[in-house]
Amino acid sequence: MDASALRDWAHAVVSDLILHIDEINRLNVFPVADSDTGVNMLFTMRAAVVEADLHANSQADAEDVARVAAALAAGAR
């Protein structure tokens, strides 16, 4: 997967999470039934999208993927 495909995937994930956030939140039962799994996933993926978009014109695919992975870890809630 190159950086462009990764950005496209991340944007698609955010769009789908927005559509299904309530359903995902209702599924949340482990480890605590606090109904925020969908919200947490959305925050995490939005962090990845922001980072990917910052480097959209970059030609360094491996570096872009590493930056997106770091943003996923940093944005995880």
Query: Residues 31-73: pLDDT tens digits?
Result: 777 888 899 999 999 988 988 888 787 776 777 778 777 887 8
Is residue 17's pLDDT more than 90? yes
CA distances from 46 to 29, 36, 52, 71, 72 (A): 23, 15, 10, 9, 9
Is residue 19's pLDDT more than 90? yes
What is residue 55's predicted lDDT score, i.e. its pLDDT? Answer: 78
pLDDT tier for residue 77 given thresholds of 50, 70 and 90: low
Non-local (6+) Cβ contacts of 74 within 8 A are 47
